[in-house]
Structure 1
Amino acid sequence: MRLRIRRITWPRRAIVLADTPRPDCRDCGGEGGNAYDYGEPFTGEYAGTDWEPCPCWHEDRRWVLIPLPRRRPRPTSRSGYCDEPPF
């Protein structure tokens, strides 16, 4: 398991310790999975790209270190400018 620090915004803003793919993985080459294109069965036209994650990495494996505070809008007056000092 290789860990790194990341900032997430969903479901709540936080600093997390997250797992990363193995850089020497023979299946994914360190990218965490493989993307492949697929087409319509009858026409053969491009229909999209699908992602298949590699077993060397689990993207949901993370631990919250510090929850970040929610952003609160500053109160404004009717003119649209804030009446409070900046500190």
Structure 2
Amino acid sequence: MARLRIQRATWPRPALILTDTPRPACPDCHGDGGHGYVTTTPHGEFDGIDYEGCHCWDPAQRWTLLSLPHRSSRGPSYSDEPPF
């Protein structure tokens, strides 16, 4: 059973996309989609967080439903680019 969600994407172009989501009842990630692990240097200092995705979903699975017009950051502007 698919767990699809509509989201707004901003890259590479603004669009509404349909994407898969993690399985809520997954015994491995409990619906979070993966686990983050703190990594340290050999001296014991914080080196960042590594993320390991879960097998219950693929974040790369996404389908564009509707391309949205670009918005100007220089104040209000209007576009004749579809959808109006």
TM-score, normalising length: structure 2: 0.81
Cross-structure match for 1:59? 59
Cross-structure match for 1:68? 68
Write out per-residue CA displacement over residues 16-49 of structure 1, whole angstroms, 9 at most, x where no aligned residue. Answer: 11100000001111000100101112x1111111
Q: CA deviation at 1:4?
A: 0.6
Q: How does 1:40-59 map to 2 (within 5 A)?
A: 40-41=41-42, 43-59=43-59
Q: Which runs of 5 or more residues in structure 1 are unaligned? A: 75-87
Q: Which amino acid aligns with 1:59?
A: P
Cross-structure match for 1:27? 28
TM-score, normalising length: structure 1: 0.78
Cross-structure match for 1:77? none
Cross-structure match for 2:9? 8
Q: CA deviation at 1:69?
A: 1.1
SS in 1 for 2:52: strand
CA distance in 1, matches of 2:48, 2:30: 22
Larger Rg: 1
Aligned pairs, number: 74
Q: Which amino acid aligns with 1:68?
A: L
Q: Which runs of 5 or more residues in structure 2 are unaligned? A: 78-84
Runs (4+) of structure 1 exceeding 6 A deviation are none
